[in-house]
Structure formats: structure tokens, C-alpha cells
């Protein structure tokens, strides 16, 4: 065995001995790992991209663009609609608008932890209708 490997073994052994002799050091190490994991989870894992929430205000012109692709669903009340075809769900639906549809923000509300925006549609087949959609579907102009 070379001297370098022996030094590595001693370094690891010294760390293990320090953690055994001083339990506070072990708790500090666990805390550092937990804090680092929390920071990574809250910032998206360090991908280098920061997501910015769209700031909207009443009367602001916006466009609707579902980030998952496809259309944006407009409902009579803020909240989640199920994917079922029940009559109750159909009664809550105002319309479905394609990406790029324009509207004007009427109000904003948070349901649970999810933000919703009430939008009056200003173009397309749903022009003149007003309803709620998830805030992620709304982009300021």
C-alpha cells in the first residue's frame, strides 16, 4: 500500500472518529445536508433557470397560453375541475380557448395554494365571455 492511500484512510478514519467523539458534529453535518437538499428542492435543483411568476393586475391585457400545450379551460369558479364528463362539470365550464387568445384580467384569487385569474376573453369564439383559469395559463402583454 502506498503512503497516499494510507493518508486517505487516516483522513476518513479521523472524520469517523471525530463524529463518534463529538455527536454535535454529526448533527451539524446532517443539518448541512438537509439545508442543501431543501435549497435544491426550492430552487429547482440548480438547473440554472429561474421560473418567474407572471405578475398581473386588474384591467391588464393578457394572452392565454397553456404551458403544457393545448388549450386553456375557462370555468365559472376558481378551482380545479375534474376530467370527467359529468353534467356537474359541464355546468361549471364557460369555454375552452386556444393558445394565444387575448383577454383582460378582472380579478385574481388563490384557492388552496393555487392562484387563479378571472379573465374576460376579448377575441375568438369565446369573445365577451368571462371566467377563471389557472394563473400559469396567463401571460402579460
Give the separation between CA 30 and CA 133, rounded to whole angstroms.
Answer: 42
In a domain, 10, yes or no: yes
57: pLDDT strictly greater than 80: yes
Position with higher pLDDT, 49 vs 73: 73
In a domain, 117, yes or no: yes
Q: Are 111 and 72 in the same domain?
A: yes
Q: Are 65 and 134 in the same domain?
A: yes
CB 56 within 8 A of CB 134: no
Half-sphere exposure of 28 (CA within 13 A, CB side): 6
Q: Of how many residues is the chain composed?
A: 141
In a domain, 17, yes or no: yes
| Helices vs strands, H then E, count in the chain | 3, 7
In a domain, 116, yes or no: yes
In a domain, 49, yes or no: no
Q: Are 88 and 132 in the same domain?
A: yes
117: pLDDT strictly greater than 50: yes
Q: Which residue has the cell 451539524?
A: 28
8-state DSSP, 54? P
In a domain, 50, yes or no: no
Give the separation between CA 90 and CA 72, rounded to whole angstroms.
Answer: 15
Q: Are 90 and 23 in the same domain?
A: no
Q: Are 65 and 21 in the same domain?
A: no
In a domain, 30, yes or no: yes
The arithmetic mean of pLDDT across residues 19-35, rounded, is 81
SS3 content of the chain, % helix, strand, coil (to 5): 35, 30, 40
Please give the model's pTM, rounded to 2 decimal places.
0.59
Q: How many domains does the chain have?
A: 2
Closest-CA residue to 67 (of 51, 45, 43, 81) = 51
In a domain, 51, yes or no: no
Q: Are 69 and 120 in the same domain?
A: yes
- Print the domain residue range for 110: 61-140
pLDDT of amino acid 33: 84
Amino acid at each position: 500500500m502506498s503512503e497516499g492511500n494510507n493518508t486517505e484512510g487516516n483522513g476518513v478514519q479521523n472524520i469517523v472518529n471525530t463524529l463518534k467523539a463529538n455527536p454535535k458534529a454529526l448533527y451539524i453535518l446532517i443539518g448541512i445536508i438537509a439545508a442543501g437538499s431543501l435549497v435544491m428542492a426550492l430552487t429547482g435543483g440548480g438547473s440554472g433557470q429561474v421560473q418567474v411568476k407572471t405578475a398581473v393586475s386588474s384591467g391588464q391585457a393578457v394572452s392565454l397560453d397553456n404551458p403544457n400545450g393545448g388549450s386553456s379551460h375557462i370555468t365559472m369558479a376558481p378551482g380545479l375541475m375534474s376530467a370527467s364528463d359529468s353534467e356537474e362539470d359541464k355546468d361549471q365550464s364557460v369555454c375552452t380557448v386556444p393558445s394565444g387568445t387575448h383577454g383582460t384580467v378582472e380579478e385574481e384569487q388563490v384557492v388552496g395554494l393555487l392562484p387563479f385569474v378571472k379573465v374576460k376573453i376579448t377575441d375568438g369564439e369565446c369573445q365577451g365571455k368571462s371566467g377563471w383559469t389557472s394563473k400559469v395559463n396567463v401571460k402579460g402583454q
